[in-house]
Amino acid sequence: MPNTTRHLTIDGRPIEAENGMTILQAARRNGIYIPTLCDLPTLPPHGSCRLCIVEIEGWPKTPTACTTAVQEGMVVRTDTPRLRDMRSELLRLLLSEHPLSCLACTEKDHCDECMVTLRKAGVTTGCGSCPKDGQCEIQKLVEYIGLGEDLYPIRYRNVPVEHEDPFYDRDYNLCVLCGRCVRVCESLHFTGTLTYTNRGSRTLVGTAFGQSHLEAGCSFCGACVDVCPTGTLTEKVRKWDGVPEREIESTCVLCGLGCSLRLLAKKNKVIGSLPVEGHLCVKGRFGITELVSHPYRLASPQKTTDGRLMAVSWDEAIAAAVERLSSCPPGGFAMRVSADLCTEDLYVAQKFARVVMSTNQVTAVPQDAYGQGMNGIVRLLKKAAPLDVIEGADAILCLELDTRFAQSVLEADLLRARQRGAKLYTIHPDHHSLSLHADRWLQPAPGRTAEALASLARLMGSEAGGDAEEELLLLAGDLREAHNLVVLVGPEALYHPDSDTLLEAVEKLAQLTDASTIMPAAEGNLVGSLLAGAYPDLLPGGSAASDAGQRRQIGQLWGRSLPELAPLDEPSVLYLIGVQPSASGEASVIYQNIDQLLDGQHADMVLPTAAFSEVNGTVVNIEGRVLPLRRAVPPPGEALPSWQILCRIAQAMDVPGFDYASAEDIQAEMAELIAGYRPGAHLSMDTLTPAFQPPEPARDASKAAEYHHMYMGFPMTRRVEGLRALKR
């Protein structure tokens, strides 16, 4: 299409660009550098820093490359003496409001060796101890553009550094007002937390009435920190770690959405986690570093000797485990696993139970958490819509979904849809992140959400209004008008004791309105645990354990006949992977986890395992996508991936079928049972069977909130300092 291509020359190079592109975009695409400060490729042009000025033949002034569209035959120059002068002048103006001892210090060449000025000049004066030293974009610009002789007198803003919020500090004395943080906050949260305040030379970035970010409704997604070119916004935990050595792309397992992330590593330590595109929620952005590098991480196997846990070698530990397990009758073994583990771990774990211990008693945590709701969850998952249905929705109904902290990535999608014209409805007993934006907010009494939803479903089913509340009638009316309804079931809704009622209502509603459903569950690998068959009632692939045909088929693959479902006796050996031991119990406990036991907990054996940042493997998100985990750093000390520990025990017990050399080997075997299982695949979850037996004792509803923010059985608030502040 000839009329969409534009031909121009940049610095003498003939260049082709698409119509509508800016000069800056065209230059970047062709590897031509034009200095910028305010521009971010992911945001619309802003044109505030003016550093990207260029000369265009026949144009009287020097327009900015970021805001000028390419035109046919344009002759652009990006680096002339005149431009250099003007840029240098602009930079000097900028530096008159940005402490620059990092550039001007006479001792800076020796800074690394001697650190003589480390304490003399505080952080705020911005010498070499500025947290952004070496990563600061101003430093790079000065290197490219150069400064003239005379600098303008510094005007130090002298505003207090804002330390009070969790996760990041804000030192607006260093701010150059490029506006990236304001714009990124606005684009993700639609009139979010950060805004420009005042005007003229008193312009600053801040919140309403100078509130803390916590008070101002910030979701701590950290997007502002990611884009800050200076040391103004700095992550507390990472502040002094300097430049990362490696970046490893992996997947976040802290909820079921499975966001891609970049793990930043330096030596053998994860020092940060950043989004690949868009943003992460507070857990993924700020929780991971502290979680996986916590001082309580286990580094070696331990065994209880004379009532005390003592470090032992792996050989000793394996031998001790074998001893316990061999003497355990099939009915006396139970295994409990976390749904935060990768699918490979979960698959090997259930195989271990079924093959080595000849029992179906392997239970992933969600079964305890969701109880009656388990079958409803499976039914919803079978029909789960991909997240991008939100883009095409004309109405969205959220059930107890608070996107402020966890799942804040969904908020951007929801609000973007609303901006586009979709209606947003929310049902939630409390004030929450969506109540401000929602077109309608139905506020049932606490614990009555399921009831309200059931009434709504009834209303939708019958034409008669009956004596329903007005709000409910209005909402039903709105939903009837929707052509493309998406229902989102928030993770907290799933923990209610009456979640089965709620889920039934959701199903009915979806059926009546032909709605798509999305269920952003809290567990990182809920779907993986179901597909791997990490439940007594479910076999790998998701078929019912009661299905003899399936049992036979799997038995053939494994070379061992599978046990029939049998009730659990009082277990004599309890194998816990990523699960906390309960305080009481007579059983002998094998505790396999990343962190030490909590005070007062008891286990006979403690086996150190790897966190998700330390393994290769896969998880399956709530859409059914198989997402890769990549090893960013080695596990601490002698810790091993969970599947490897299980395999070593099985091998020591002479059980064949546990000789995998890598996660890929396990994936290959899983693919035989779970159709199409490989990293990157988008699986159909249709094979999942709602075969769960109702749990015996009713669940403890009070634990719900805890389940929500757990990793490997530990509440994240116990591991991540800042998350405690969010709990209020």
| Residue 153 or 549 having the CB closest to other proteins | 153
Please check whether residue 608 is in contact with residue 300, taking contact to mean a CB–CB distance below 8 angstroms. Answer: yes
- Tell me how far, at minimum, the Cβ of 468 lies from other proteins, in Å: 20
Of 69 and 655, CB closest to other proteins: 69
Among 3, 106, 201, 462, binds other proteins (CB under 8 A): 201
Footprint on residues 458-497 left by other proteins (CB under 8 A): none
Closest distance of CB 643 from other proteins, Å? 46
Given candidates 9, 30, 67, 572, which one binds other proteins under the rule CB under 8 A? Answer: 67
- Angle at which helix 663-673 crosses helix 343-351, to 10 degrees, equals 70
Q: Using CB under 8 A, which of 16, 19, 42, 152 touches other proteins?
A: 152
CB of 46 to other proteins, least distance (A): 8
> How many CA atoms lie within 13 Å of 477's alpha carbon, on the beta-carbon side?
9
Q: Rule CB under 8 A: say whether 359 interacts with other proteins.
A: no
Of 5-13, 207-215, 507-515, 536-544, the segment contacting other proteins by CB under 8 A is 207-215
216 sits near other proteins (criterion: CB under 8 A): yes
Binder to other proteins among 199, 267, 308, 728 (CB under 8 A)? 199
Binding residue (CB under 8 A) for other proteins from 132, 189, 336, 354: 189
Q: Is 421 exposed, middle or buried (0-12, 13-18, 19+ CB in 10 A)?
A: exposed
The rounded distance, in Å, linking the Cα atoms of 163 and 367 is 41
- Rounded CA separation 409/386 (Å): 14
CB of 175 to other proteins, least distance (A): 12
By the rule CB under 8 A, 198 interacts with other proteins: yes
Tokens in use for 142? 């000065």
Distances (CA, A) of 574 to 346, 375, 590: 16, 26, 6
Q: 205 or 545: whose CB is closer to other proteins?
A: 205
Q: Minimum Å distance from CB 82 to other proteins?
A: 9
Question: Least CB distance from residue 130 to other proteins, whole Å?
Answer: 20
Determine how many CB atoms are found less than 10 A away from the CB of residue 331.
Answer: 18
Give every CB contact of residue 462 below 8 A, 6+ residues apart in sequence: none
Binding to other proteins by residue 79, rule CB under 8 A?
A: no
d(CA 503, CA 161): 48
The 37-56 site mask, x for binding other proteins (CB under 8 A), equals --------x-xxxxx-x---
**Taking CB under 8 A as the rule, which mask of x and - marks residues 86-125 in contact with other proteins?**
x--xx--xx-xx----------------------------
Calculate the alpha carbon distances from 421 to 222, 393, 414, 568 in Å. 27, 9, 11, 54
If you ran DSSP here, which 8-state letter would residue 384 be given?
Answer: P
Pairing of strands 714-715, 269-275: unpaired
Kindly state whether residue 195 participates in binding other proteins, applying the rule CB under 8 A.
yes
Toward other proteins, which CB reaches closer, 150 or 696?
150
Say if residues 105 and 117 touch (Cβ distance below 8 Å).
yes
Q: Coil, helix or strand for 335?
A: strand
In the numeric block, the tokens 């107890």 are attached to 400
Does 196 engage in binding with other proteins (CB under 8 A)? yes
Pick 157 or 480: Cβ nearer other proteins: 157
Q: How, if at all, do strands 233-235 and 246-251 pair? A: unpaired
Q: Which is nearer to other proteins, 79 or 89 (CB)?
A: 89
Distance CA 469, CA 207 (A): 38
Q: How many angstroms separate the Cα of 560 from the Cα of each of 330, 349, 356, 557? A: 15, 16, 10, 8
212 near other proteins, rule: CB under 8 A: no
The residue among 426 and 525 lying less far from other proteins, judged by its C-beta, is 426
Q: Which of residues 559-578 bind other proteins (CB under 8 A)?
A: none
- Of 179 and 571, the one with the shorter C-beta distance to other proteins is 179
Rounded to whole angstroms, the Cα distance separating 568 from 110 reads 69
Binding interface with other proteins (CB under 8 A):
45, 47-51, 53, 61-62, 64, 67, 69, 86, 89-90, 93-94, 96-97, 150, 152-153, 155, 176-177, 179, 186, 189-203, 207-209, 216-217, 436-437
